[in-house]
Amino acid sequence: MKHDNIYIRLLKLVAPFKWWILLAVLLGFATISSSIGLMATASYIIASAALHPELGSLFVPITGVRFFGISRGVFRYAERIVSHNTTFRLLSRIRVWFYERLEPLAPAKLLKYKSGDLMSRIIADVETLDHFYVNVIAPPLVATTIAAGMFAFLWSFSIKVAVAFIIMFAIAAIVAPWLASWLSRGQGKNIINTRSELNIALIDGIQGLAELIVFGQEERHKTFIDKLNKKLSFTELKMAWITALNNGLQVLLAHLALVVVLAVAIPLVNDQLLKGVILAVIAMGTLAAFEATQNLPSAFQYLEKTGQAAKRLFEIVDSKPDIIEPARSMQPNCFEINITNLSFSYPHTDTKVLDNISLIAQQGKKIAIVGPSGAGKSTILNLLLRFWDYDQGNIKIGNVELKNINSEQIKKYYAVVTQNTYLFNSTIRENLLLANPDATDDQIKIALEQAQIYDFIARLPQGLDTFIGDQGMNLSGGERQRLAIARALLKNAPIFLLDEATANLDPITETEIMKTLLEIMQVKTTIMITHRLVGMENMDQIYVLHEGKIIENGKHDDLIKNNGIYAKMWYLQQEILLMTQ
């Protein structure tokens, strides 16, 4: 992706706020103009006072000092309000824009990114873009308007003085920032990339802390994080030195400009082409005008940094979703699920995860898909949810091909419970209301009772308003799973998809919840995916999946009599159950 294209796209994101930006630039121009006016009128009064004029002749410049002194503060305050308001609005727009484009990519296109890298892009890279307005767009615009205004002001006294000023101003506004850009070349990219690596390492360390401790690798990981942290600190320190150098250079150029302007103006005073008191006005006005160039070197530095951050965001945004939405979503006539001759391989692999499978889940019937880990059971769930699209075979809900139903509409048909259900760092109530935002307390209570967790929540000091921590870590594994089941029950969708829904429960609780689920299943189209053969005698049909193929199907008793893989799995689990009792 070319850099100019990146910046054009960033400007398009900023475009809705162009009038706010224009207002902020005008206020910035007014602020620095007030500074110039303040210095110019003050110097005029001091220079004129040395000639002992009548007091009345100084009335206007004295009023000007008061006006410019007050207006400078007012304009600065207003400029800060407008610029920060614009920045926050822009960040809000970028966050929403990025999320809207991120959501259709999940999960297929996001699997190649580590969670720490994604977090870095979503948080740090987006926040870096606030510099694009404050430190990249605004300073050059303000500097340009000040240069034009000051040139016109000096032209009214002398064209030579005006030309001398604009040459020195151009050096400070163009050459010095170019030098800053040259010195910091590649540093912005290094900061963004190193920060991303550090975020990845930190999140990996937090999420895998137990494993690091178990295998005694915590010191090694700490050393790795420390190395990345030092690398990031060194790069940022280098940028700070470059910034300090450029700040000093800007002050030097401002005073050099003062010397040059005086060198041009003094002969004009000697030749009586310029009044002596005007010399002070020109000198102090020139010095004050260089306030507009102070932020230009950092603008060039931030230009690379924001460009790199934007590039990382656009890399994700420009990815095409694996799911192609239909032009018009169709409505099925019933909620029977029919899978015919379905084959599927994950992208960039040649191995068939599913190989020509066919099964049917009639409306209101319960089917189970069982088999060892890696058999392809969860892949069926992923395809039903349209996380990936299939190329071979068919999946229908009622009379409609799954691909002809919009993804958002499909999700309304399902109540899903997986083995690793995500719970947000919020209250129990808010986690439950994800399934049904309009649910009443009575409906929540019924769902919790059915999931065998209401008594536990009722005993908590804050009840439903208890915060459960990140991913629900304040709860046990069984409590998290029962809360997930309650959430699915609260949704009251016509199709139940259960993927190892009771895997984290103890045998007694599992049996009790299975009874509840079986009652709910009587009026739902249900697909249960599991390798734990609990409650299989109540299933209307069982499909045994092995290496991506359905090798057995039938009712529980018939499969036991066939003495195939299902029977072996059943007897093995019974032996394990007897040993644990």
Band of the pLDDT at 532, cuts 50, 70, 90? confident
Q: What is the CATH number of the domain that holds 218?
A: 1.20.1560.10
Q: Which amino acid does the sequence have at 207? A: Q
Least confidently predicted of 16-20, 174-178, 181-185, 415-419: 181-185
- Shared domain check, 147 and 101: yes
**Does residue 205 lie in a domain region?**
yes
pLDDT grade, residue 113 (50/70/90)? confident
Q: In 3D, which of 102, 89, 100 has the Cα closest to residue 129?
A: 89
At 118-160, the pLDDT tens digits run: 877 888 788 888 778 777 888 899 999 999 999 999 998 889 9
For 116, 201, 202, 220, 285, the CA distances from 206, given in Å and listed in that order, are: 11, 9, 6, 14, 57
Q: How confident is the model at residue 577 (pLDDT cuts 50, 70, 90)?
A: low
- From residue 304, alpha-carbon distances to 134, 184, 428, 452, 579 in Å are 14, 9, 44, 56, 64
Check residue 364 and give left, alpha or beta (phi > 0: left; psi -120 to 50: alpha). Answer: left
Confidence band for 53, pLDDT divided at 50, 70 and 90: low
Contacts of 382 (CB under 8 A, 6+ apart): 388
- Residue 476 pLDDT greater than 90, yes or no: no
User: What are the pLDDT digits (tens) for 250-309?
Assistant: 888 888 988 999 899 888 888 888 887 888 888 888 999 998 888 887 777 778 778 888
Look at residues 550, 108, 555, 140 and name the one whose alpha carbon lies nearest to residue 346. 108
Tell me how many domains the chain contains: 2
| For residue 581, pLDDT beyond 60 | no
Which domain-ending residue is among 317, 352, 378?
317
pLDDT value at residue 578: 67
Alpha-carbon distance 203 to 217, whole Å?
A: 15
Same domain, 33 and 173: yes
Residue 322 lies in a domain: no
In a domain? residue 522: yes
| CA-closest candidate to residue 448, choices 486, 475, 478 | 486
Count the neighbouring beta carbons within 10 Å of the beta carbon of residue 244.
Answer: 10
What integer is the mean pLDDT of 360-382?
88
Q: In terms of domains, do 267 and 352 share one? A: no
Provide the pLDDT for residue 109.
78
Domain of 518?
337-580
Check pLDDT > 90 for residue 420. Answer: no
Say whether both 243 and 310 belong to one domain: yes
Kindly state the percentage of the chain with pLDDT values over 70: 96
pLDDT at residue 343, rounded to an integer: 92
Residue 452 sits in a domain whose CATH number is: 3.40.50.300
When pLDDT is cut at 50, 70 and 90, the band that residue 27 belongs to is very high
Mean pLDDT of 98-125: 80
For the cut 60, the answer to whether the pLDDT of residue 394 exceeds it is yes
Q: What's the mean per-residue pLDDT of the chain?
A: 85
Residue 56 binned pLDDT confidence (cut-offs 50, 70, 90): low
- Chain centroid to CA 360: how far? 40
Judge whether 326 lies within some domain: no
- CA atoms of 265 and 37, how far apart (whole Å): 19
Dihedral class, residue 535 (left if φ above 0, else alpha if ψ from -120 to 50, else beta)? left
Q: Are residues 292 and 390 in the same domain?
A: no
Residue 323 included in any domain: no
Tell me if 135 sits within 8 A of 177, measured CB to CB. no
Same domain, 509 and 402: yes
Q: Domain check: are 350 and 307 in the same one?
A: no
Domain boundary among 287, 317, 347: 317
Higher pLDDT among residues 420 and 468, named by residue: 468
Q: What is the pLDDT of residue 352?
A: 87
> Distance from CA of residue 446 to its chain's centroid?
36
Q: Considering the domain boundaries, does residue 224 fall inside one? A: yes
348 three-class SS: coil
**Parallel, antiparallel or unpaired: strands 392-397 and 400-401:** antiparallel
Query: Where among 317, 346, 362 does a domain terminate?
Result: 317
Pairwise pLDDT comparison (194 vs 577), residue with the higher score: 194
Give the DSSP letter of residue 360.
E
What local confidence, expressed as pLDDT, does residue 55 receive?
63
Give the tens place of pLDDT for each residue, 150-199: 999 999 888 999 999 999 999 888 888 888 777 777 777 788 788 888 88
Phi, psi of 101 (to 5 degrees): -90, -20
Residue 348's pLDDT is 77
* pLDDT for the residue 138: 86
What's the pLDDT score for residue 315? Answer: 86
**Mean pLDDT value of segment 430-435:** 92
Q: 138 and 45, same structural domain?
A: yes
- Whether residues 366 and 251 fall in one domain: no
Residue 329 lies in a domain: no
- Same domain for 372 and 308: no
- β 400-401/525-530 pair status: unpaired
| Distance separating alpha carbons of residues 383 and 529, to the nearest angstrom | 13
Same domain (yes/no): 410, 502 = yes
Beta strands in 62-210 (DSSP E): none
Same domain, 459 and 519: yes
